Amino acid sequence: MPLPCDLLLTNAIVLTMDENFTLYPSGAVAITGDSIVAVGAQEGVANEYTAKQTLDCGGKVVMPGLVNAHTHAPMTLLRGLADDLRLDVWLLGYMMPVEREFVNPDFVRLGTGLACAEMIRSGITCFADMYYFESAVAEATAAAGMRALCGQTVLKFPTPDAGSYEDSLALTREFIIQWKDHPLIVPAPAPHAPFTCTPEILQACAALAVEFDVPLHTHLSETLFEVENSRKEHGMPVIPWAKKQSLFDAKVLAAHCVHIDEGEIRALKHAKAGVAHNPSSNLKLASGVAPVSKMLELGLNVGIGTDGPASNNDLDMFTEVHLAALLAKWMSGDPTTLPARQALAMGTRLGAHALHLGHLTGSLTSGKRADLILVDNERIHNSPKFTRDPDAVYAQFVYATKSTDVTDVLCNGQWLMRDRKLLTVNEDELLVAAREYAKKIDVFLIQREESILQKLIAIGGAVEEESFEVQVKAQVDTEAQVLSVLNSEALTIIRARHYHEFDAYFLFDDPAQGRLRYREDEFLNEKGKVTQVRARLTLTGPSREGEFGSVLLSRSRYIAPATQSLRFYREYFRPTAEREVEKDRRRWLVTFKGVEFFVNLDRLLTPARAGFYIEIKSRTWSRRDARDKAAIIAELLHLFGASADSAVQTDYVELTTNTSQN
């Protein structure tokens, strides 16, 4: 007496992708409810089961749905926004400012809907996500009928969904409680990365994951820069540092792991952590290639991910599996490395294990959820077929099959696509809404790119608002006169400092933008040794605001600490020209006639100039105040032995020649 089942798939090449790579050239799969009840040779299964519905697969391949082990699904809405940039410029200069402005639950729901449509079309049934408003990601994913590990992002700075990391942790807890018993969604805390989180955040996220027995999704060792910084700051690379913060108390899914050594791979293995290898993203951002062969050899569960659609730029797992196989061969110089079926295992079973969802999905095994796809392997780029080598079908799949060959997708026992028609997502509606968002984002960025000030504010640069200064500068042949006045009773020294200053000035086509100065101050002690380094950005106004004889009134629009490298600012602001000034500066804060002034005595090193420049300056608040101070400055200048006639109207930038031209 045959057993009943809901759905019977017959006449298929069944790739189970189980531990033994069991393959049925003429196979069948029986499904009841959300689960697989039998997989095997056609005659066996078809005789054993009678189904409410039988589907003749017409000789297509039936295999587990692909597992996208790492993505940021809602970023479909930011695809193509900014490309060919370095990771920091891309992330801090473009993605994060746009996200701050636009990301809300509506954006996230729409972006996830688009991602689900794209992923279903390319045979993905399960993915690991990390984004903001993750509850909206979960809603849209569940509505599309897909399975996902949804990671709620936690960062040390404010995010679109939380003003502080304390809020973010509270939100994550709520999110986990809300979704933890859902049939398709597995919620998780997602501390973004060790360098964007504090030790407390890593510890709290791990504790949260342990408390609710859910996985934890994060980025580890993506770039060499990150690893070098970790060594510098913590005296160890990223994996041991994360371990020290108890991160691996949780079931970790670690994206990237590009720059890790064998010891770190063993540490990950010991912690039962999964890894998501993201070949396209790592190549496009020139991060490097993860040592996946070594990871696999040591028994790590390594899945394959697309990473976010703004850094890939698509969600096509066929490309990723293909690239993973090719890259591993190229890296080892050995074409037998990472054979096709192992690469495909990474895209399915190993990926599911990396997500800690291996008990649910990743292979066609009785008892697992019915997450499977039908693939047409008779198309022109996929023909002909050979039977001599049973592994040929895997090679065909990895090296020739395309995502567009996927015809049908079933997830959790529900059809998401039949004959290439999506059943749970309305693509047309989503595309219309996506175009509207793209228009708004375009306008926002176009406006921002027109203003250096807006760009500065966008990267969190503006901490001090505009200020006015009266100042004079004059050339003096020797320092003797200046020093003797400073040491006399004519004025009182409040503070004396000695610096080595390096300035890079960014100049722009439109002089109305002003110019941006990146300054590195090295504080020197009495012995001339560097005791401290400080970097700052100053945006100065386009022109002088006024003149009082030789004394000028100038405006500095914004001053902010420079938290990124000069290279970052150069790539972000793209100046038309750049000038360098290097000087030895002695600076005194003095009072003269009851007014505070800064006196700078500069020796120009670049461009090299004989003699010294003296600068006298003071903050001012009103035109009247400026005029009064200008009069005192003129007196002081005279005292220093520099007449008003010797005042230089040019500044250091004008003394320099172009050092670079973009």
Provide the 3-class DSSP secondary structure of residue 546: strand
Do the Cβ atoms of 308 and 75 come closer than 8 Å? yes
Among all residues, whose Cβ is closest to Zn ion? 307
Query: Which residues between 249 and 268 bind Zn ion (CB under 5 A)?
Result: none
Stretch that binds Zn ion, among 6-14, 242-250, 299-307, 434-442 (CB under 5 A): 299-307
Give, rounded to a whole angstrom, the gap between the first and last alpha carbons of the chain.
79
Rank residues 245 and 287 by Cβ distance to Zn ion and give the closer one.
Answer: 287
User: Using CB under 5 A, which residues numbered 440 to 479 contact Zn ion?
Assistant: none
Q: How far apart are CA 346 and CA 504, in angstroms?
A: 48
Least distance CB 362 / Zn ion (angstroms): 21
Is the CB of 226 or the CB of 307 nearer to Zn ion?
Answer: 307
Q: For residues 42 and 141, what is the distance between their CA atoms, to the nearest angstrom?
A: 33
Residue whose pair of structure tokens reads 């890894």 in the numeric block: 275
Of 131-139, 302-310, 331-339, 536-544, which part binds Zn ion (CB under 5 A)? 302-310
The count of other CB atoms within 10 Å of the CB of residue 658 is 11
What are the counts of helices (DSSP H) followed by strands (DSSP E) for the chain? 22, 27
Helix (H, G, I), strand (E, B) or coil at 543: coil
At residue 129's C-alpha, the angle toward residues 125 and 130, to 5°, is 175
Q: By the 8 A CB rule, do 26 and 41 touch?
A: yes
Task: Name the minimum Å distance from CB 242 to Zn ion.
Answer: 16
Coil, helix or strand for 301? strand
- Shortest distance (Å) from residue 193 CB to Zn ion: 9
Q: CB 468 → Zn ion: shortest distance, Å?
A: 45
Q: Of 307 and 469, which CB lies nearer to Zn ion in the complex structure?
A: 307
Task: Output the CA torsion sign for 279, 282, 283, 289.
Answer: negative
Indicate the length of the chain as a whole number: 662
Residue carrying structure tokens 């636009």: 102
Q: Tokens in use for 391? A: 């592994």
Single out the segment in contact with Zn ion by CB under 5 A; choices: 301-309, 386-394, 432-440, 586-594. Answer: 301-309
Shortest CB 70 distance to Zn ion, Å: 6
CA angle 291, 305, 406 (to 5 degrees): 125
Shortest Å, Cβ 253 to Zn ion: 11
Min dist. Cβ of residue 104 to Zn ion (A):
21
Q: Can you tell me the distance from the alpha carbon of 373 to that of 9, in angstroms, rounded to the nearest whole number?
A: 11
Closer of 245 and 282 to Zn ion (Cβ): 282
Nearer to Zn ion, 91 or 214 (CB): 91
Number of shown-chain residues binding Zn ion (CB under 5 A): 1
Quick one: 169 or 255, whose CB is closer to Zn ion?
Answer: 255
Quick one: 230 or 424, whose CB is closer to Zn ion? 230
Scanning 44-52, 241-249, 303-311, 570-578 for contacts with Zn ion by CB under 5 A, the matching segment is 303-311
What minimum distance in Å lies between the beta carbon of 75 and Zn ion? 9
Closer residue to Zn ion in complex, CB, 115/633:
115
From the list 307-315, 318-326, 346-354, 366-374, the region that binds Zn ion by CB under 5 A is 307-315
Q: Looking at beta carbons only, is 9 or 197 nearer to Zn ion? A: 197
Stretch that binds Zn ion, among 76-84, 268-276, 304-312, 565-573 (CB under 5 A): 304-312
For residue 313, whether the previous peptide bond is cis, meaning omega lies within 30 degrees of 0, is: yes
The minimum distance between CB 421 and Zn ion, in angstroms, equals 31
* Contact indicator for 207, 216 with CB cutoff of 8 Å: no
For Zn ion, give the closer residue by CB, 99 or 578: 99
Q: Say if residues 590 and 596 touch (Cβ distance below 8 Å).
A: yes
Least distance from Zn ion to the Cβ atom of residue 556, Å: 38
- Whether the CB-CB separation of 9 and 357 falls below 8 Å is answered with no
CA angle 500, 506, 512 (to 5 degrees): 130
For Zn ion, the binding residues in 160-199 under the rule CB under 5 A are: none
Residues that bind Zn ion (CB under 5 A): 307
